[in-house]
Structure 1
Amino acid sequence: MKVKEGSFVWYLYLDKIYCLLSVRNVKALLEYFRLLDVHHKNTLNDVLFYHFLSYVTNLKSRQIRMVFDMFDCNAVGEIGFEEFYLLVCILLSHQNHLEEQFMYCHSRHVFRLLDINGEQRIGKVNFHLYRFLFNIRNERLKEFFQDFHSSEDRRLNYNEFKIYTIFANEKSKEKQRERMKEDKRNRFRSQLK
C-alpha cells in the first residue's frame, strides 16, 4: 500500500517516535474530515470512505471495503473522526516505513482492529487478510505465529501480540542501524576516492 504523492495526506507529518500527528496536523486533518463529511453527521459513510482511500492510496476496491469493515467496529455503516485519525496514522506509518514502530506504540488499537470477532484473540487468517495495512510479508507472518503463540488454538492473545510488536520493533531498529552504518561507510569510501 502506498500513499499517493501530492494528496493531502502526503503532506502531513507523523512523529517518528510516538507515531502521532502534531496538534497543527490534527487540526488540518479535522478540517479535511469536515470537508469530506458532506452529510454533516461527523461521520463518513462507506461511499465517502471509499473515495477518500481511492484518492490517497493505491488500494484496490476490495481492500478498501475490507478496511472500512475493519474500522466500522460497531457495524453502523459509518466511521467517526477517531477511526479516521487512526487510519491516517497507519497510512503515514506506511509512507515513512514506521509500520513496526506504529504497531509497537499503538499495539492495543492494532490488536482491536485485527480482532474482528471481538474474541480477544487474533487468528492467522485475520492477520493474513489485513497484513497489507502493516506491510507484513508472508514469511514474517509464519514466523510470527510459530514463535509467539502459546495456546493450542494457534491464535494470539493481546500479551503475545504485544511481545511480537516489541520484537519486531527492535528488529526493525537493528536493520535501520545497519543501513545507516553501511551508508556511512559508502559515503566515507566515496570521499576517499
Structure 2
Amino acid sequence: MKVTSNFVKRLHLDPKYGLLNASSAQLVLEFFRLLDCKGTGGIDDIQFAAFLSTSTDLSKSQIYKIFDIFDLDRSGSCEFDEFYLLVCILVAINDNKAKHFLYRHWRTCFELLDEDGSKAVSREEFETLGFLFGFSRAAVKRIYDEFDVSGNQELDYNEFRLFVFAAIDAQEDLERRARSKALKKKHGKPRLLMARLTRSGAENSAAVI
C-alpha cells in the first residue's frame, strides 16, 4: 500500500511513544472535523472512502473492508479515536515503520485484526488486513506455519505476541543489511577508482621507462 496524501506525509510519529504528538493530533482533529461536515462526531463509509481513496492507492473493496474493521463499536461510523488510529498507521506506513508500530501497539493491533471478537486472529482475518502492516498473503502463510502452535489456523494473544517480536527482529535485520550494503556500495566506488588510478599510473610509468 502506498500513501499519497501530502497531509499524511507531513506527519511523523513520536519516536519514543510511536504516536502523534499533541500538535499533530490537533491537526488530525481539525482535519477530521472538516470531513465530518454534518457535525455528528463521526464520518460514514462514504466520507471514510473519500479520505482513503485520495490518501492511498487502495482499491474500493479494500477501503470498505478497512471501514468495517475500524468501525470498532459497530456504530456505522468512524469516530475520531478510530480515525486517529488509522492516521497513525498511515503515517507509520509512509515512514516505513509499520512493523515498528505493530510492535509498540501489538494489543491494539490484535484487537483491530480480530474482526469477529473471538480473542484470536484467524488466517483469513490476517490475510484481509495484513497489507496494512506490510505483509503479503505469502508472508501470512509463513507466519501461520511458524507461529500457529496449536495448529488451528488462528493466533491467540501469546502466539500473536511471539510473531510480532519475531517480525520486528526480522525487519531490523533487513534494515541493518540494507544499511551495510549501502555503505559498502558508497565506499566501494572510491576504492575501486583509486585502484584503477594506481594501476593506470603504474602502466604509464612502465611505458615511460
Give distance in 2, aligned partners of 1:152 and 1:186.
44
What's the CA shift for 1:21? 1.2
CA shift at 1:47, angstroms? 1.2
Whole-angstrom distance in 1 between the partners of 2:107 and 2:190: 47
Larger Rg: 2
The match for 2:99 is 100
- In structure 1, the partner of 2:51 is 52
Conserved 8 A contact 1:19-1:102: yes
1:31-63 per-residue CA deviation (whole Å, 9 max, x = no partner) reads: 111111111122111111110111111111111
In the aligned structure 2, how far is the partner of 1:92 from the partner of 1:78? Answer: 22
Per the alignment, residue 188 of structure 1 pairs with 187
Structure 1: gaps (5+ residues): none
In structure 2, distance between residues paired with 1:3 and 1:73: 23
2:74 matched residue in structure 1: 75
Q: Matches of residues 84-99 of structure 1 in structure 2 within 5 Å?
A: 84-99=83-98
Structure-1 residue corresponding to 2:36: 37
Shift of 1:151: 1.8
What residue in structure 2 maps to residue 158 of structure 1? 157
SS in 2 for 1:130: helix
> Once structures 1 and 2 are overlaid, which stretch shifts more, 111-120 or 127-136?
127-136
Q: Does 1:3 align with 2:18?
A: no
Aligned-residue offset at 1:18: 3.6
Kindly provide the amino acid, as one letter, of the partner of residue 120 in structure 1: K
Segment drifting more, 169-178 vs 94-103: 94-103
Name the SS of the counterpart of 1:174 in structure 2: helix
Q: How many residues matched?
A: 192
The whole-number CA distance in structure 1 between the counterparts of 2:16 and 2:65 is 28
Q: Quick check: 2:127–2:136 contact (8 Å CA) kept in 1?
A: no
Shift of 1:153: 2.0
Segments of 4+ in structure 1 off by > 6 A? none
Question: Identity rate of aligned residues, in percent?
Answer: 34
Aligned to 2:119, the other structure's residue is in SS state coil
Contact 1:16 1:98 in 2 (8 A): no
Moved more, 36-45 or 62-71: 36-45
Match of 2:186, SS state, is: helix
Structure 2 gap ranges (5+): 194-209
Shift, 1:4, TM fit: 0.6
Could you tell me how far apart the structure 1 residues matched to 2:45 and 2:88 are? 19
Structure 1 vs Structure 2 CA RMSD:
1.4
Asked whether the 8 Å contact 2:3–2:57 carries over to 1, the reply is yes
Q: CA deviation at 1:19?
A: 2.5
Q: Distance in 1 between matches of 2:130 and 2:184?
A: 34
Could you say which residue in structure 2 is the equivalent of 1:135? 134
Tell me if the contact between 2:49 and 2:63 (Cα under 8 Å) persists in the aligned partners: yes
* Structure-1 residue corresponding to 2:112: 113
- TM-superposed CA distance for 1:138, in Å, is 2.5
Aligned-partner SS, 1:83: helix
> What amino acid is the match of 2:137?
N
Deviations 1:93-122 (A, max 9, x none): 111111211111111111111111101011
TM-score w.r.t. the length of structure 2 is: 0.87
